[in-house]
């Protein structure tokens, strides 16, 4: 029998059982650094079971998947009990925000307990964890629940007074260190066998600057992703063969992302690279024309990486499942083997592009130097690097008052998630559904992590396996991906539709007395009590984040 845990009325399961709710509040100070994972053991709602919910990792960085252990024991005997069904959820009480993932009960280990996988936090702060479970004993099924409060990540309470000398507490320094470059891991895409292959990067660079990938031979990847603009284009919305509806995001640091496009409709850098080539408003080409171009122009580069070309359709064939009616008919007329061969060459081409794009990394800048000087206890030198206004802006940025860190964390100053800030309608008043569209698209996309074009022997796709279809408690309607704050001085205009030309306008948006919400269920806190001085301080800090690249300049030039 299926039990609906959302029903708060009496359940009838082999008899009548009254269901109680329990809240076990484990209050943890919000000023500590790191992740506060402490075991909690309390009586269940019914009072019959002792319930323990514990993280299986001592620390877990925001944005990682990790596991939790649920142990249920009889109150009187201490005997371990195996639950029949478990539901795990979490939410931020102060932020009305759920998990970006949908955790699932994995298995029961008699020596440990119930293993829950797919837990992923993308915001620092206080989270309420809730577990519902069913236990059958003596022929009767009982439902119970428990809730636990736990602090995730570093949170600080920064003051912003008018003194001319600013000190930084240990908690604040820990927070700053979590935001500073360099990044400690390499983030190599396991779905591509050439992700870190230099030959693939060299070929990918040629492809990146090659306008022949477009039908009119006039648009290349570098048209919208210009190296001297931090791999953006300086336009409010992108312009390919036609004008698009969204702003061009930077490619710098993209190898560390999980989701691509403002709505997250692709789940790898290489699958994203395929889309513009066939999009009518961008390059307006077809995959059969692309693979024929690769065979004619880049045969040596391709075969050095992937071996001999497979059989392909006639060179005059113009076919794709995503094009106009004629192109779709041509695609359907190809036999399955030819279609698979085309897709294989096409996806491999995207992987070469991704191998190049993965080299585009931010270099430490003024902010990172400031943090390093603080780490070395060189306070006076640090004061020389950052002006008083910039330091006060940084204090505001990491404070609970602004809650900037909820979304802009990690060294890339993004949690990689999707959030609703009330911008459902674009500047023309048209609705852009954002993550709702992207979430449904990525699950059925033919080149996603679960596809045959994933180079892993056994596809490992936790981001899809535990994808939360409810999208942060329904807030994915009008939600867009959090952009990196690195390179802000070159990556404007800002927001998914380029609605703001300056950083000053962005700060005004977040601190306005009349917040211009154009969509439902905005997640933003109210910070309308900002003074003009504080707005300027925050803006001054944002301008310190820099736009220098760690990448060797030779990779930034067209090799032709």
pLDDT at residue 149 is higher than 80: no
Residues in Cβ contact with 201 at an 8 Å cutoff, skipping those fewer than 6 apart: 352, 355, 356, 358, 359, 555
pLDDT value for 531: 93
pLDDT digits (tens, 9 = 90+) for 430-441: 889 899 999 999
Q: Tokens at residue 159, please? A: 């003051």
pLDDT value for 465: 96
pLDDT at residue 53 is higher than 60: yes
Contact 222, 374 (CB under 8 A): no
pLDDT value for 472: 52
* Residue in 384, 282, 351, 262 with CA at minimum distance from that of residue 323: 282
Q: What percent of the chain has pLDDT over 90?
A: 65
Domains recognised in the chain with CATH numbers: 11-152 (2.60.40.1930), 170-186+363-553 (1.10.760.10), 198-360 (1.10.760.10)
pLDDT digits (tens, 9 = 90+) for 407-435: 999 999 999 999 888 888 877 788 898 99
Contact 527, 397 (CB under 8 A): no
Residue position matching structure tokens 């932020």? 95
pLDDT band, very low/low/confident/very high, at 36 (cuts 50, 70, 90): very low
User: ω into residue 404 within 30 of 0, thus cis?
Assistant: no
pLDDT value for 311: 96
For residues 170-176, average pLDDT: 93
Contact 4, 16 (CB under 8 A): no
pLDDT at residue 39 is higher than 80: no
Paired sense of beta strands 125-137 and 49-55, if any: unpaired
From the centroid of its chain, how far is CA 73? 37
How many residues are listed for the chain in this entry?
A: 560
* Angle at CA of residue 33, ends 124 and 167, nearest 5°: 110
Q: What percent of the chain has pLDDT over 70?
A: 86
Q: Which residue has the higher pLDDT, 131 or 341?
A: 341
pLDDT at residue 355 is higher than 80: yes
Q: Tokens at residue 462, please? A: 């936790």
User: Running DSSP on this structure, what letter comes out for residue 213?
Assistant: G
pLDDT value for 4: 35
Contact 473, 91 (CB under 8 A): yes
Q: Tokens at residue 184, please? A: 């400690």
pTM: 0.85
């Amino acid at each position: 029998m299926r039990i609906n845990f959302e029903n708060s009325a009496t359940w009838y399961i082999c008899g009548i059982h009254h269901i109680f709710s329990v809240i076990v509040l484990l209050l943890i100070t919000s000023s500590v650094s790191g992740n506060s994972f402490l075991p909690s053991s309390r009586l269940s709602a019914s009072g019959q079971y002792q319930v323990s919910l514990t993280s299986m990792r001592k620390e877990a960085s925001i944005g990682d998947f990790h596991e939790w252990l649920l142990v249920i024991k009889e109150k009187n005997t201490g005997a371990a009990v195996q639950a029949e069904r478990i539901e795990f959820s979490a939410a931020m009480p102060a932020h009305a925000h759920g998990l970006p993932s949908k955790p699932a009960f994995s298995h029961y280990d008699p020596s440990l307990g119930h293993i829950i996988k797919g837990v992923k936090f993308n915001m620092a702060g206080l989270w309420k964890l809730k577990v519902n479970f069913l236990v059958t004993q003596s022929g009767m099924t009982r439902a119970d629940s428990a809730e636990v409060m736990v602090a995730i990540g570093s949170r600080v309470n920064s003051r912003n007074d008018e003194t001319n000398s600013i000190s930084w507490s240990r908690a604040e320094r820990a927070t700053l260190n979590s935001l500073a470059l360099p990044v400690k891991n390499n983030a190599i895409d396991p779905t591509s066998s050439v992700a870190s292959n230099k030959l693939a990067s060299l070929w990918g660079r040629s492809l990146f600057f090659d306008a022949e990938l477009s039908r009119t031979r006039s648009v290349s990847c570098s048209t919208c992703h210009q190296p001297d603009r931090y791999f953006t284009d300086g336009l409010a919305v992108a312009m390919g063969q036609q004008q698009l509806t969204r702003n061009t995001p930077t490619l710098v640091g993209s190898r560390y992302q999980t989701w691509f496009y403002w709505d997250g409709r692709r789940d790898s850098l290489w699958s994203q690279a395929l889309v513009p080539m066939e999009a009518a408003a961008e390059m307006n080409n077809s995959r059969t024309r692309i693979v024929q171009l690769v065979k004619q122009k880049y045969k040596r580069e391709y075969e050095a990486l992937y071996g001999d070309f497979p059989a392909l359709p006639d060179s005059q064939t113009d076919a794709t499942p995503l094009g106009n009616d004629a192109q779709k008919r041509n695609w359907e007329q190809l036999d399955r083997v030819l279609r698979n061969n085309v897709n294989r060459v096409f996806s491999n081409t995207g992987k070469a592009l991704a191998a190049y794009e993965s080299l585009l990394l931010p270099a430490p800048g003024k902010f990172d130097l400031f943090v390093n000087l603080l780490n070395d206890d060189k306070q006076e030198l640090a004061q020389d690097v950052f002006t008083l206004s910039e330091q006060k802006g940084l204090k505001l940025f990491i404070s609970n008052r602004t809650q900037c860190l909820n979304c802009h964390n990690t060294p890339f100053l993004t949690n990689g998630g999707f959030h609703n800030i009330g911008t459902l309608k674009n500047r023309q008043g048209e609705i852009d559904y954002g993550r709702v569209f992207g979430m449904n698209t990525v699950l059925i996309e033919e080149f996603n992590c679960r596809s045959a074009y994933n180079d892993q022997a056994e596809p490992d796709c936790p981001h899809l396996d535990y994808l939360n279809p409810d999208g942060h408690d329904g807030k994915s309607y009008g939600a867009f991906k959090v952009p990196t704050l690195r390179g802000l001085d070159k990556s404007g205009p800002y927001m998914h539709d380029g609605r703001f030309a300056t950083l000053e306008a962005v700060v005004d948006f977040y601190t306005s007395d009349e917040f211009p919400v154009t969509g439902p269920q905005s997640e933003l806190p109210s910070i309308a009590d900002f003074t003009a001085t504080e707005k300027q301080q925050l803006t001054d800090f944002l301008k310190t984040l820099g736009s220098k690249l760690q990448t060797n300049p030779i990779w930034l030039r067209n090799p032709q």
